[in-house]
Structure 1
Amino acid sequence: MNQFVIDRLDFNNKVHNLIEERKLTLISKLGSDYSFKNNEDESTKNGLQSTKENFANASNTRFVDKNKNIFLLVHSQEDIINKRKKLEDKENQSDSDYALLFGEVNESSLIEIIDEKNLQKELKLPDAESIKPQYLKNELQENFCDYQKKIPKCKRIITPAYWGILDLTKETKELNDRLIENASRYFANKINWNPKCAPSVLQHYFDKNCEEKIDDYKYDMLHNNIQFIKSNMSHFKRNLSEEELKMTTMLPLFRGIFSSELVDDRWGEIQSVATNEARNKTYNPLQRARIGKKVDMKGTLTCAPIKFEVLYGKVSGGLFSLGLPTACKRKKYLDKVKLSIMMRDSINRVLEEWKNLSDNERSSLIVFGWTQIGFDINIYAMSWEGNGIYFFGLVDKCTLPTERDDCGIFEDIYCILKELEVKIKNVEKIIKGLSLKNVRNKRRRILGETIPDLNVNRNPK
């Protein structure tokens, strides 16, 4: 093997160039606040090119430090070229790639960015009011846009506002309390979430701890599924995977309460069509298409003219022993951000098709989502409010029972899911009505085409 000795200063410069190259790669992945000038980038490239030329005739090269007599083994010239090529391939990827946010490989790094001290307890939307509250739309939009510009680059990917989402749960402070309170009251009236009481026959059933079967065939599936959950409660005290948890709790409850004709519900690791289309919209058609991001549950309207993904579900981890959730507070927050972005993409997918409607009509479209952390269930709603802003709020929450003697608590989730079913039926009516109106406005030339102002951010730049 040919060996040669280089000057210490020259060696340090080359090592420095390689380190800077690695630093650029890391920063491009994490979205850092650091920036590099063009002349610095050029010097890095020149330094690396010089290193390649010097190593052209060496398969393995040893550097000798004259002062300390330390031998440093450096990768072969072929390895350096291969690493450079991989770096260039990554830099040439489209900015529409969601991989950094949704990829499991990057999840640990993203969780580390989240400051748990700044996370507050989530708050539900207030009750709907009989008198419509005044909506400070212009002031809110101005303040929200100002806030978006101030988000540090390294925090954009985990901040709902970067994606155009105004988080009304107050888990993070985005705007002042007055504007948030005003927007929350407006959004609560728009959603009009008001769960009804269970029928008297079901009230009696829950009072009897779900043990006496109801003499009505329409409740047979609910009874059978609750008995299935009860039979699995002995496993709730030990370690459970995420898959086991959702398949023994939310799946049987949803199937027992929801109308099977309303939505096509899919469970497991299910691809979101909305994110699939969003990711491939600006992608090279000659390359392999990217798959959409996956959720634990997806509900698609079956009878609407547009197959709208109206409901998403996300389960954050499984269970430790004694029924404790495995997900930490930061993991819960990250999953909520992911859920809200998929809800946004679902709305965007439909609004982009409705080019002959007013913004006021477009804003009537609502999408729902839910999260499960251990046995705690949260229900969310989202709508587009114009100017690239989406309202996202917590409409209801409950806790599932874990003991066979506490099955009367199932009445809570029953009332919540029945109200969710009612709201989704309303969304179906809205989809049908606005799709028809969009065609009439277009073909009868009642209203010309207008492009809605949507937020289509992908990866932070």
Structure 2
Amino acid sequence: MKDKKEYRSLLDQHLREEKKYLSSLHLREIQDNDIDATIVLEQNINLHDDTIEVADTFVDRYENKYNTRCWTLSSGTDVSEILAKYIKTVPEEQKCLNPVYWGILDLTGDHLETKALFSSEDWSEMVDNFEQEVKLSQAKISDAVYHFFDEVHQIVLKNNHNPIMKIMMEIDMFFPEEIEKKYGITLSTEEKHNISVLKHVIVTYIENLKDIDLPVSESEFGNSFPNMLMRKLLDHKEVKIDVGEVCWELCARVGRRCDFRGILKHSIDNLEAIVGLRSEKEIDNVQKPEIDDILHQTFVLGVHSWGWTHDVYGMDCKATNICRLGRLYRTKMPNNIRTIACLEEFYTIMLDVKTTLKDICEHVNGIALSHARVYRNRKRKNQ
């Protein structure tokens, strides 16, 4: 027991030193990129004395020498100050397990100690502000998809007392042309492709559900259900998907892991825009997905599945040392054959996630392009 405590103490000390190093490194990166110029993409902006116009749509705005950003609520509450005071009261052996120590403001309400730091009015304002600024993009979903899930439900009902293999065969043998004939519509090539993908996903899901022998390990469950769905429903042309014991170096040292990671292939920074965690039950906040952002006004996604529940989270950098974490959507995965058509909700949310990832990629690349252009225009101005 003594050796265990000494090891834990040594680990905590190492993590604190590493956090200081990472924080200073992150600060230097921000200063290198932003202290010289912060790009604001606006049309017809009113210029002030502290700005220099460098292009029609680019404004070179100088920050103060410390390059800090504050978040002050309408009540006058300085969020950074509240969190800074709170973390000083947390025992040393608990700090590395506390979300505030890592600069995370959990707005899901699950971390009760964080919520208790603010008045109900301040808390509501922070949650409302997060919900306005961080949200999933809405994907367009064709009627063909809804018709397909209706047909899947009818197949399940019709074969209620038949072997599961018969249900799988009927779904597998269902073709988009049947939707065209029944509903009097013409499907596009993309719609037919989407239905083909969905057929394969549902048949695989049913097969995994049929063969599951509870209890199973978290990794086995994740690979059979949430990870399988994410791999098949996200766009592999846009996102490089890693599944399994994919560990971030820092997460591994504190005993955490990320079971799913999606890297935007076409972003200039190779941004890890979505990560996920699998657990047997709902866990407290400090073990939720460790997700971070690299640019102001950019948010990233995290997913967490526990039991048959699947949560989608968003995180952005609201101010210096404040990364806001909030739950964007919660859905249930089918736990039996009769409810297999409930995958419709999961599918539509994944379409929103896929669209959001594409928007994040364009946003990140747009900011990188803005930085490149501001230096180009400054050079022209000085010539």
Same fold (TM over 0.5): yes
Q: Which residue of 2 aligns with 1:95?
A: 17
Distance 1:252 1:26, change over 3 A: closer
Distance 1:404 1:198, change over 3 A: farther
For residues 398-456 of structure 1, the C-alpha deviation after alignment (integer angstroms, 9 at most, x for no partner) is 1100111211100110111111111111110111111111223345448xxxxxxxxxx
User: Which runs of 5 or more residues in structure 1 are unaligned?
Assistant: 1-18, 32-90, 99-133, 280-289, 318-326, 351-361, 447-461
**Distance in 2 between the 1:235 and 1:366 partners?**
38
Match of 2:361 among 410, 421, 428: 428
Q: Contact 1:169–1:394 (CA<8 Å) still a contact in 2?
A: yes
**Distance in 2 between the 1:138 and 1:266 partners?**
41
Asked if 1:415 corresponds to 2:348, the answer is yes
Asked if 1:308 corresponds to 2:271, the answer is yes
Asked if 1:140 corresponds to 2:79, the answer is yes
Q: Given residue 103 of structure 2, which amino acid in structure 1 is its aligned partner?
A: G
What percent of counterpart residues are identical? 20
What secondary structure sits across from 1:193 in the alignment? coil
User: Which runs of 5 or more residues in structure 2 are unaligned?
Assistant: 21-71, 154-170, 178-191
Asked if 1:440 corresponds to 2:383, the answer is no
> In the TM superposition, what are the counterparts of 1:238-387 in structure 2 within 5 Å?
238-272=214-248, 275=249, 294-317=257-280, 327=281, 329=282, 332-333=283-284, 336-340=285-289, 342-344=290-292, 347=293, 350=294, 362-387=295-320
What secondary structure sits across from 1:95 in the alignment? helix
Q: Contact 1:269–1:296 (CA<8 Å) still a contact in 2?
A: yes
What secondary structure sits across from 2:18 in the alignment? coil
Distance 1:428 1:417, change over 3 A: same
TM-score when scaled to structure 1? 0.56
Give the CA deviation at 1:29: 4.5
Compare CA radii of gyration and give the structure with the larger one.
1
Q: Which residue of 1 aligns with 2:136?
A: 193
**Distance in 2 between the 1:271 and 1:339 partners?**
14
Match of 2:9 among 28, 31, 50: 28
**Distance in 2 between the 1:225 and 1:261 partners?**
18
Distance 1:430 1:206, change over 3 A: same
Match of 1:406 among 335, 339, 354: 339
Match of 2:176 among 214, 217, 225: 214
Q: Contact 1:271–1:292 (CA<8 Å) still a contact in 2?
A: no
Give the CA deviation at 1:214: 3.0
**Distance in 2 between the 1:92 and 1:307 partners?**
28
**Distance in 1 between the 2:16 and 2:100 partners?**
22
Q: How many residues align?
A: 290
**Distance in 1 between the 2:359 and 2:259 partners?**
24
Question: Which structure carries more strand by proportion?
Answer: 2
**Distance in 1 between the 2:6 and 2:138 partners?**
51
Distance 1:230 1:431, change over 3 A: same
Q: Which residue of 2 aligns with 1:48?
A: none
Distance 1:306 1:196, change over 3 A: closer
Match of 1:223 among 193, 199, 205: 199
Distance 1:217 1:309, change over 3 A: same
Q: Given residue 25 of structure 1, which amino acid in structure 2 is its aligned partner?
A: E
Quote the RMSD (CA, aligned, Å). 3.3
Distance 1:24 1:423, change over 3 A: closer
**Distance in 2 between the 1:30 and 1:180 partners?**
34
Q: Contact 1:165–1:390 (CA<8 Å) still a contact in 2?
A: yes
Q: Which residue of 2 aligns with 1:152?
A: 91
